[in-house]
Structure 1
Amino acid sequence: MTYFPPVGGPWERIAAEEAGLNPARLAEAVTFAENAETVWPRDLDRAEFLPSLTQFEPPPWNEILGPVAPRGGPAGLFIRGGRVAAQWGDPVRADMTFSIAKSYLAVLMGLALGEGLISDLDDTVAKYVEGDWFESEQNASITWRHLLTQTSEWQGTLFGKPDQVDHFRVLGSDADHSKKGQKRDLSPPGTYWEYNDVRVNVLALALLYVFRRPLPEVLRDSIMAPIGASDTWRWMGYRNAQVTIDGIEMISVPGGTHWGGGMQISSLDHARFGLLIKENGVWNGHRILPEGWVRAVRTPCALNPVYGYLWWLNTDRAQYPSAPETSFFAMGAGTNLIWIDQDLDILAVFRWVDQASLDAVISGFMAALE
């Protein structure tokens, strides 16, 4: 029986042995995670660039448009049966989380479908969004599914950032960034996969038009409050991201912190969110997400089988060889990670782990399973 932490109360702990874990190996895994800290500077608010993000962009594309905060140190939780088996660092600190915000966007998409605000993932977005964002020949046939799977090939400039800024973008600790931002000919929507933050921000904008109120409010009222999250998390937009809907000015929030802004959230709040996903959108007997949506977000993209609906998959164990193929992840630069494996009853949150060491960190916790 899964335990759900109470609203505002302490999260119940569980001894390693009771959780089916080898105590010595679990301790070793935690120590390794603590020592596998990212090389990113702590004072990111004063850094010349955001590593691997604005670092490889020319001006004015590299301009930071939203808040950037100093980062904390390594932190995390390893949870089984809903109870905390291991905890390290400062799990209460609300910290930047970069592209994990994309996975929160996927959950908001599920809410929109469940509430009937969007009829079908294969509807064109143009049917739902006012203005000229989806009026061009290139953009008119883009569907919600295209945006969710990073295959939209949306063309345009949003809040001062052109889609071209992330053309030829490559991810990974050993990524070649030499071609990033070089213009390429666009393909029809649904035929080319590209990790493009401008296009994810277009999805956030489109959802703003659908809900017709700020996405942080939707997330708070429909997800974070029901699961008992703290009031310390923030989801912030760019200084130029104002949109007027129904005569009311709102801020459109980004799906990451590529150009600042984005989500700042504690490891404990990430863990509550992760537990909701691990339990298929049900919190302590109360269904919050539409039935089947968590399964849907794990649908492999035909053009990139390790990507689902703004969640990372481990198809053929290609993402993290030490994790089972059944694992899936919310992942952000830094590296920040929510790791879920329903079959093995694993929920873990990792903050500020060196990207090249992530698989070894996962391997350590896998070794602790008895």
Structure 2
Amino acid sequence: MRKLMRIAGRILAIAAVVLLAAGLWKRDEIMRLWAVNSLFAEDRIVANFSNMEGAFLTRPVSRGDGPVVPLATGEAMTLPAGAGDWINARAVTSLLVLKDGKIRHESYHLGTAETDRRISWSVAKSYLSALFGILLKEGAIASLDDPVTTYAPLLTGSAYDGASIRNVLNMASGVTFDEDYLDYDSDINRMGREIALGGALDQFAADLKDRFAAPGSTWQYVSIDTHVIGMVIRGATGRSIPDLLSEKIITPLGLEQAPYYVTDGDGVAFVLGGLNITTRDYARFGLLIEQDGRYNGQQIVPADWIAASTRPSAPTKEGKIGYGYQWWVPIGAHDGEFLARGVYGQYIYIDQDRDVVIVSTAADRKFRDKGVNRANIEMFRQIARAL
């Protein structure tokens, strides 16, 4: 009996060592998975959104070695009545308002600061759109009507086989993808865990096999579509998105801090929502777009691409919010009014007629409640009218 107990004890000891070794070996993956599962917790969300590099694999985006291009400051504005209540209700972490290229309001909330590089979430999609427009003009990509598989052959045989670049830019790929952030088993949350565990998003996209509609026939917001645009760009150029974005957009803007991307296990940038930038630097990008792609005396993004990409060209339902090439067009928008939008309350709102750019970051856990997005847009419109 004693001999059996000694043998059992040795087996348990060996098992404990094996488990400990496995735990140490997989420690980073386990910690990232824990980070994903607690990312939006009420007591952590604000800090998490300013410190994504502490939880995920990341890759820097060089700002270049040029000087910072300053943002001019104008007379401080008085925010409209109700703005303070809106800031509190929507867990706004920063608000910056530009009029005629000058800062008229800048404030930080919930313990955040001007040096925080805040997670963009889907605001990053609009950055990728701008980069795509540059590469299209340069001839790296021949046509919006080319099949995505021309540049991303890994997608052959997937649900994306037969979709054009235009379809995917418009979020009209027809690919079945569950975007419910509140459902643990949704595709968007499975994708988050894939990133946490060091998986490859290219393969994740290629493994999608189902369609709910023919490409180009129906609009449905599918975040993985933007990753496919990133695959197209990488396939067309043989270069990474961080390097291209740095060269074509970030360096000319003269940012205050170098941004960074969250990446998957292959080091591929999470282009559909993983860009992290300061509020002022978001404003610089917004000003670039508001000025038809021109900034600091240089035409960076083709003006015709700005016009095309911010027009509501996607097959959205009548009376609903419009969509272009990775830009949103609000209900009742006048020409030149559009926005970049990310979950939990991230916005770059642009009104070209009024020469206004508004950046708002937030940690709004109720962002999906009925009427919240419309109320946010109405607040931006009130701010623009008050200038």
Q: Is the TM-score greater than 0.5?
A: yes
Q: Partner residue of 2:118? A: 95
Displacement of 1:185 in angstroms is 5.1
Whether 2:96 is the aligned partner of 1:13: answer: no
Amino acid at match of 2:169: L
Residues 20-77 of structure 1: per-residue CA shift (max 9 Å, x gap):
xxx44x2756534532333xxxxxxxxxxxxxxxxxxxxxxxxxxxxxxxxxx61121
SS in 1 for 2:383: helix
Q: Partner residue of 2:233? A: 207
Looking at structure 1, the residues matched to 298 and 357 of structure 2 have their Cα atoms a distance apart, in angstroms, of 20
Aligned-residue CA RMSD in angstroms?
2.9
Amino acid at match of 1:327: E
1:151–1:190 Cα contact (<8 Å) kept: yes
2:290–2:351 Cα contact (<8 Å) kept: yes
Higher Cα radius of gyration = 2
Q: Partner residue of 2:135? A: 112
Residues 80-135 of structure 1: per-residue CA shift (max 9 Å, x gap):
111101110133310111000111111111021011001111111222224x31x2
Q: Partner residue of 2:88? A: 35
Amino acid at match of 2:164: T
Looking at structure 1, the residues matched to 331 and 84 of structure 2 have their Cα atoms a distance apart, in angstroms, of 28
Q: Percent identity?
A: 27
Answer 1 or 2: which has greater helix percent: 2
Whether 2:351 is the aligned partner of 1:328: answer: no
Q: Partner residue of 2:296? A: 284
Looking at structure 1, the residues matched to 237 and 263 of structure 2 have their Cα atoms a distance apart, in angstroms, of 17
SS in 1 for 2:233: helix
Displacement of 1:164 in angstroms is 3.6
Alignment length (residue pairs)? 286
SS in 1 for 2:95: strand
Q: Partner residue of 1:253? A: 269
Q: 1:361 to 1:136 in 2, by over 3 A?
A: same
Q: 1:128 to 1:276 in 2, by over 3 A?
A: same
Q: Partner residue of 2:275? A: 263
2:354–2:384 Cα contact (<8 Å) kept: no
2:292–2:303 Cα contact (<8 Å) kept: yes
Amino acid at match of 2:294: V
Whether 2:218 is the aligned partner of 1:195: answer: no
Match of 2:174 among 132, 153, 163: 153
Looking at structure 2, the residues matched to 283 and 299 of structure 1 have their Cα atoms a distance apart, in angstroms, of 21
Amino acid at match of 1:339: Y
Q: Partner residue of 2:356? A: 346
Q: 1:325 to 1:36 in 2, by over 3 A?
A: farther
2:90–2:362 Cα contact (<8 Å) kept: yes
1:336–1:350 Cα contact (<8 Å) kept: yes
Q: 1:99 to 1:177 in 2, by over 3 A?
A: same
Q: Partner residue of 1:307? A: 323
SS in 1 for 2:252: coil
Looking at structure 1, the residues matched to 359 and 138 of structure 2 have their Cα atoms a distance apart, in angstroms, of 29
Looking at structure 2, the residues matched to 35 and 140 of structure 1 have their Cα atoms a distance apart, in angstroms, of 45
Displacement of 1:179 in angstroms is 11
Looking at structure 1, the residues matched to 282 and 225 of structure 2 have their Cα atoms a distance apart, in angstroms, of 24
TM-score by length of 2: 0.67
Instruction: Within 5 Å, give how 1:69-88 maps onto structure 2.
Output: 74-88=93-107
SS in 2 for 1:337: strand
SS in 1 for 2:84: helix
Amino acid at match of 2:279: S
SS in 2 for 1:85: strand
Q: Partner residue of 1:59? A: none
